[in-house]
Amino acid sequence: MIRMVDIAKKAGVSRTTVSFVLNGRYKQDMKISEPIVRLVLETAEEMGYVKDENANAIVTGKSRVIAIISAFDDYMMPTVRGCMEEAQEHGCMLKLISLKDGINEAIRKAIAFRVGGIYAIIRSQLQKQIDPKYLQLEIPSIGLKLHTGKMAFNQIESAKLGTEYLIQKGHRKILFWGLHEEIAKERELGYVQVMEKYGLKPEIAYSSRQNGSWNIDMLDDILKNRKPDAIQCFSDLLAFKIMRECYKRKIFIPDTFSLMGFGHTPASRECAPLLATIDEPYFETGKIMFHQIYELMEHGTYKAYTPLIGTLIPGETVAEK
């Protein structure tokens, strides 16, 4: 195994300098010139140095590995990428742990990996299932306790953009199609606030989950009896399901009603007609997420950030009324 002392000897610098460079601490803890930083990194790469995080944790008593616990739905990957890029800049590593075996098993795996911090991106229902013994851990963590771990994104203000857009296009009978879950309810609240601002009556429908998907059996009843001129969905995925069911019925969007999604998922950029939606800054959210857990690990403080607001993405599913 290549040691730091070997790299220091070949590069002609001190072992301390090598340690600070390879651990990414040279920017924060001591001033090392760019030529020396490049020399150390190039020497380490030439010699085939690989950092052993577990060994480092045993020696220093402090791990720079961060566990990210999540279901890792497709939309989460830009968030992971943003978090990972910041981690590399600060000499940290990420360990991605899936929820497929349950939240408590995920936490147990994180402990086994000797992580220095845990960031759990989970819903409140899962937070309630966590074994109390894990909440007493000294490992810095965000998201394990109730009402913590919300990513730095303002769901309410972002949802308002979609409702405002529909109203600007002349729609007045706008139905919000939601879900009885925390994030969906926040987006619903944004919709309600805008409708009330314009003196319009909120109309809300709820889906239920069935085998991981959403039940939209009430679609026919909504179109026949409520007759909305626009439907604002709590997510792009729900909007896609509505589009598919309408296609089967030869109901055309936006001729029959306009449709608004939320999320700007990759499919929304390729579907026909193009879905009007709200873009979530997942990548930027991931960067903030890293800094929150990093501050907790390094300094024992939780840094609050101003929540980001999404961007309206106009689409072909919304027509002038």
Which pLDDT belongs to residue 210? 64
Which pLDDT belongs to residue 194? 98
Distance CA(317)–CA(255), nearest Å, equals 9
> Which range is least confidently modeled, 29-33, 59-63, 87-91, 120-124?
59-63
Distance CA(257)–CA(262), nearest Å, equals 17
Distance CA(106)–CA(67), nearest Å, equals 9
> Which range is least confidently modeled, 34-43, 45-54, 248-257, 299-308?
45-54
* Six token digits for residue 301: 């403080």
How is domain 4-51 classified at the architecture level of CATH? Orthogonal Bundle (1.10)
CA distances to 52, 85, 157 from 286, in Å: 25, 9, 19
Q: Please give the residue that has the higher pLDDT: either 211 or 156.
A: 156
Q: Please give the residue that has the higher pLDDT: either 150 or 4.
A: 4
* Six token digits for residue 247: 């296609």
Domain positions in the chain are 4-51, 60-149, 155-280
Residues 251-288 pLDDT 10s: 999 999 999 999 998 888 889 999 999 999 889 999 99
Helix (H, G, I), strand (E, B) or coil at 214: strand
Residue reference for tokens 């309600």: 192
* Six token digits for residue 63: 């791990």
How many C-beta atoms lie closer than 10 Å to residue 241's C-beta? 19
Do 309 and 154 contact (CB within 8 A), yes or no?
A: yes
How is domain 155-280 classified at the architecture level of CATH? 3-Layer(aba) Sandwich (3.40)
Q: Label residue 10 left, alpha or beta by phi (over 0 means left) and psi (-120 to 50 means alpha).
A: alpha
Distance CA(163)–CA(50), nearest Å, equals 51
Residues 136-189 pLDDT 10s: 878 899 988 877 766 678 999 999 999 999 999 999 999 999 998 888 999 999
Residue 24 has pLDDT above 90, yes or no: no
Which pLDDT belongs to residue 236? 94
For the chain, what percent of residues have pLDDT higher than 90?
Answer: 52
Enumerate the β-bridge partners of residue 207.
179
Residue reference for tokens 């730095």: 152
Distance CA(258)–CA(321), nearest Å, equals 9
Distance CA(300)–CA(285), nearest Å, equals 21
Which pLDDT belongs to residue 75? 76
Phi and psi angles of residue 29, each rounded to the nearest 5 degrees, phi first? -105, -20
The mean pLDDT value of the chain amounts to 88
> Which range is least confidently modeled, 20-29, 54-63, 186-195?
54-63
Enumerate the β-bridge partners of residue 278.
312
How many C-beta atoms lie closer than 10 Å to residue 190's C-beta? 24
The answer to whether 4-51 and 60-149 have equal CATH topology is no
DSSP 240-305: HHHHHHHHHTT--TTTS-EEE-SB--GGGGTSSSPPBEEE--HHHHHHHHHHHHHHHHHHS-PPP-
pLDDT bracket for residue 26 (50, 70, 90): low
- CB contact set of 217 (below 8 Å; sequence gap of 6+): none
CATH topology of domain 60-149: Rossmann fold (3.40.50)
pTM above 0.95, yes or no: no
Residue 9 has pLDDT above 60, yes or no: yes
